[in-house]
Amino acid sequence: MKLMFYRGPGNIITRIIRFLTRGPYSHVEMQFTNGRRFFASGHGVFQGSNMIHDHRIYNSSWDSVLIPATEEQEKSVQRYAFSLIGTPFDMNGMVRFTLPGGARRKYRYCSAVIMEVLQNALHMFPGESLKISPNGLHRLFLSHKHVLTCDCMQDDTVAQDVDSERPKQSLGGPGSLTGDVFAFHPERREGTR
């Protein structure tokens, strides 16, 4: 299971989101190992929160955050995401996340919906606000000392600690992967399986 962060060219709204949230990302979605993906969108055919099964192949405009999860955990995440399907996209909430303060509410734009799923299904980032941008969510993962990994490497995987200021890099060599790919290892909570 992984999170996919969009940093492609986009449109004027994409550029505004990136400028206001001080980072390269304007959208995030969750991709499951069975080919389903969960996301919230405010435009196009799929407006609101959606889960579709299309085995999408992401291009170089996307960076991945890998979330190793058991099959049971991934099913739990999908069940929670299914419960959010059809909730309308919150354009006002998306604009409000750039403003300080504001009333406590359930935000329904891409990164807020993904954060809600992570918190309620995987118990990740407890206490963090749902008022988060794709860049804020990406920085949150980086701040938890994740490990840079590459699917193209086999048994001799090179791993490095990653901090929030690390620029994108190529791992080098034939078939190398360029961009950010992180593995998140949620801490086991007492009394949970």
In degrees rounded to 5, what are phi and psi of residue 68?
A: -65, 125
Q: Which of 73-77, 90-94, 160-164, 189-193 has the lowest mean pLDDT?
A: 160-164
**Quick check: 51 pLDDT over 80?**
yes
Compute the distance between CA of residue 127 and CA of residue 28 in angstroms, rounded to an integer. 20
**Domain residue ranges in the chain:** 2-183
Most confident listed range (25-39, 49-63, 90-104, 176-190): 25-39
pLDDT tens readout for residues 111-150 = 999 999 999 999 999 999 888 999 999 999 888 754 333 3
- Which token pair is 154? 């086999």
Are 65 and 28 spatial neighbours (Cβ–Cβ below 8 Å)?
A: no
**Quick check: 99 pLDDT over 90?**
no
Band the pLDDT of 108: cuts 50, 70, 90: confident
The pLDDT of 24-47, averaged and rounded, is: 90
Q: What percent of the chain has pLDDT over 90?
A: 44
Are 145 and 165 spatial neighbours (Cβ–Cβ below 8 Å)?
A: no
- What's the pLDDT score for residue 140? 92
Q: Based on the number of CB atoms within 10 Å of its own CB, is 104 exposed (0-12), middle (13-18) or buried (19 or more)?
A: exposed
Arithmetic mean of pLDDT over the chain: 74
CATH numeric code, 2-183? 3.90.1720
**Quick check: 156 pLDDT over 60?**
no
Q: Compute the CA torsion angle 61, 99, 136, 131 (nearest 10 deg).
A: -110
- What's the pLDDT score for residue 144? 74
